[in-house]
Amino acid sequence: MIKVKFKYSGLLFTLGMAIAIFNSCRSTKIDSLYQDKGVVINGVKWATRNVDAPGTFAANPYNAGMFYQWNRKKGWATTGDVTDWDSNNFVGDTWEEANDPSPAGWRVPTMSELGKLFDENKVNFEWITVSGISGMRIIDKATSNSIFLPAVNHRGGNDGTLYDAGSGYYWSSTQSTQREDEDYIALFMYFGSDFAYVGYWYGKSSGFSVRSVAK
User: Quick one: pLDDT at residue 152?
Assistant: 94
Is there a domain that residue 2 lies in?
no
Number of domains in the chain: 1
Is there a domain that residue 8 lies in?
no
Is there a domain that residue 94 lies in?
yes
The answer to whether 54 and 101 are in contact (CB under 8 A) is yes
Q: Which residues contact 150 (CB under 8 A, 6 or more apart)?
A: 50, 62, 63, 64, 65, 133, 134, 135, 168, 209
Q: In whole angstroms, what is the distance from residue 64 CA to residue 195 CA?
A: 20
Is there a domain that residue 80 lies in?
yes
For the chain (215 residues), the mean pLDDT of every run of 10, in chain order, is 43 32 35 64 97 96 96 97 94 93 97 94 94 94 97 96 93 84 84 90 95 97
Is there a domain that residue 10 lies in?
no
Enclosing domain of residue 203: 22-214
Closest-CA residue to 7 (of 195, 127, 178): 178
Is there a domain that residue 88 lies in?
yes
Is there a domain that residue 38 lies in?
yes
Is there a domain that residue 177 lies in?
yes
